[in-house]
Structure 1
Amino acid sequence: MLKTAIGKSHAKIIFFGEHSVVYGQPAICLPISKIQTKVTITKTNAPQTIQSRYFDGKLIDMPNNETGIQLLIKTILTELHQENVSFNIKIQSEIPSERGMGSSAATAVALIRALFHFFEQPLSHSELLRLADVSEQYIHGNPSGLDAATVSAKAPIWFIRGRRLQTVPITKNAFLVIADTGILGQTGLAVQHVKSQLASSTSAETAIERLGENAKSARECLTTGNFKKLGTLMNNSQNLLAKLGVSHPTLDLFAQLAITNGALGAKLTGGGMGGCLIALTQDKKTAQQVADILIKNGAVNTWIEPLKSPDHKGAQ
């Protein structure tokens, strides 16, 4: 056992496949490595304690809205036979919560990595995803596993539920603007809304299928560098998501503003009903122009991320 151990993860955005991924359709998701979560575990002689932006105190006293993390910690301690070890867990995250950027999954992944490092135990990628699902199931009900897969990945990934992850090659560079509306996303409500739509509407089934087809076409566009078509696919996906009832007036407005100011395409990312918008631009100058106009119209934060494949390979 170490005196101190650190685990890290990062944010993510869903590029294509929101909601449809839950029903077996493919999704493309991008790791956002610059926006990080860090967990530090320090051995102590006191009771097990935890510090985060939401709670500071004994692990056993965590509030109900933090039960998913508490359950994850207890599960790991039980599996590693370390239930009575004393420590302090400090969670530091740059990822805004409830914005569709994988905040809860990133916390889970960083926490798992930190605990296994602390107890000097090996951790496979499949084991990491299995354990992350403990808290994600509690928090989101029926997660696809996409968030945990991407906040632990090093490269853009192609995800189909229940299948092996694949990387997505990007042959040319472009830029993504990520804009935080400041409105909490409502993933659980949005997932249930889509589920009810599918139970009563054939048009919802068609929308899910078309979102999957858009993801397939987008993968080809990324490989060939056809960003103009990629932008069109983003716009089409935003329209489909709006028809499914998971967009938001502010997201609709931001999408329109982004396109008017030079973006090739724009759409919500994540569960929707709030959260973040992403916009695709051909160059960084246009990306900054889009980011500036969105800030002027109420975005609480923006990030500009290069859309490119990293030098290393694999979704590790």
Structure 2
Amino acid sequence: MELQQIGNGTSYAKIILLGEHSVVYGKPAIALPLKTITANTVISSLPNQDILLESNYFTGNLSSSPKQMLGIKNLITYLVENLNISSGIKIKLKSNLPAERGMGSSAAISISIIRAFHNFVNKPLTKAKLLKLANIAEKITHKNPSGLDAATSSSENPIWMIRDVETTDIPVNMYGYLLISDSGLAGQTSEAIKIVQENLKNNPTQTNELLNNLGNLTFTAKDQLATNNLVGLGKTFKKAHVNLKKLGVSISKLDNLIAIAEENGSLGSKLTGGGRGGCFISLVKTRDEANELANILQANGVTENWIEPLFKEEL
């Protein structure tokens, strides 16, 4: 295999617009790649047989990486063997994605690693193969991944997904901005999943109704995104959060911050991702409004904000 001296790979963070939790039960979800928040991997040759890893989380020989990195370790080991890399390599990971915030951090890092390896050996990579390889790490990290994180982190466009049925790009014709805000609390996805499972067991009729509502709202949002119905999408966000709250996956801090956002210019706000902490999103008309709202939220406990245009912005 012909090796280049350097291999590069990049991927994006992701945000779920609609469909948290309900996507697990056969309903659609819409997710957006956040091109302002990236993960990058750089691979370079070493004169020995070592496989060295450099990251904010761990630096050292791959064989000594902590158990929290087992998914990445297995992915790298597989790629080294599958791509017949016999020389030593240094793998430098740089990610701007916060962990445990519903942004698909582990998937984004995996996607960037896979792309860097294939760039390093100058070998083409299909989208299908990319997602299959990403699943090596995601299965270890998330046990039963839906595939939405990897599909979105590797995409240039918003993703429409019904698990095990379809994953496609969708058109977006919307002139507005998404403000992503970190509540300051780590999301508790596994706890939220258990809550939904318990609710299904103890209150199946009510819980199924909430999941169906979330699925229907996702279909509505798809049409709104395609027709520049910004105000309508804001209302859909509000309704979705009400259902997620009833489902038991929100917390009072998220609810309070969302109320503040909607009192200060947001057309609609909702939690995003697993919930029980993590991030929430707000829909606004202009970048100036997004900046103003971000300052207000930061004064009320939000630890970080990101602004993402829903269209190709000319800067």
* 3-state SS, counterpart of residue 123 of structure 1: coil
1:243 corresponds to 2:246: yes
Contact 2:175–2:230, Cα closer than 8 Å, also in 1: no
1:119 alignment partner AA: V
Range that drifts further, 140-149 or 238-247: 238-247
The 5-angstrom pairing of residues 42-57 of structure 1 reads 42-46=44-48, 47-57=50-60
What is the TM-score normalised by the length of structure 1?
0.94
Matched residues in 1 for 2:154 and 2:313: separation? 15
Matched residues in 2 for 1:162 and 1:34: separation? 29
| Residues 240 and 72 of structure 1, relative CA distance in 2, 3 Å threshold | same
Among 223, 230, 235, the residue aligned to 1:232: 235
1:99 corresponds to 2:89: no
Residue of structure 1 in register with 2:215 after alignment: 212
1:128-187 alpha-carbon deviations (Å, 9 max, x no partner): 001111111111111110010001100112111123432222223011111111211122
Q: Deviation at 1:221?
A: 1.1
Contact 1:155–1:309, Cα closer than 8 Å, also in 2: no
Matched residues in 1 for 2:39 and 2:14: separation? 11
1:267-297 alpha-carbon deviations (Å, 9 max, x no partner): 0111111111100012223222211111101
Contact 1:100–1:271, Cα closer than 8 Å, also in 2: yes
The percent identity for this pair of structures is: 41
Matched residues in 2 for 1:206 and 1:21: separation? 14
1:227-269 alpha-carbon deviations (Å, 9 max, x no partner): 2221111111111111222112221111101100011100011
The 5-angstrom pairing of residues 1-316 of structure 1 reads 1-46=3-48, 47-82=50-85, 84-202=86-204, 203-308=206-311
What is the TM-score normalised by the length of structure 2?
0.94
Matched residues in 1 for 2:59 and 2:184: separation? 25
Consecutive unaligned residues of structure 1, counting only runs of 5 or more, are: 312-316
* 3-state SS, counterpart of residue 43 of structure 1: strand
Runs of 4+ in structure 1 over 4 Å off? none
| Residues 74 and 193 of structure 1, relative CA distance in 2, 3 Å threshold | farther
Contact 2:107–2:153, Cα closer than 8 Å, also in 1: yes
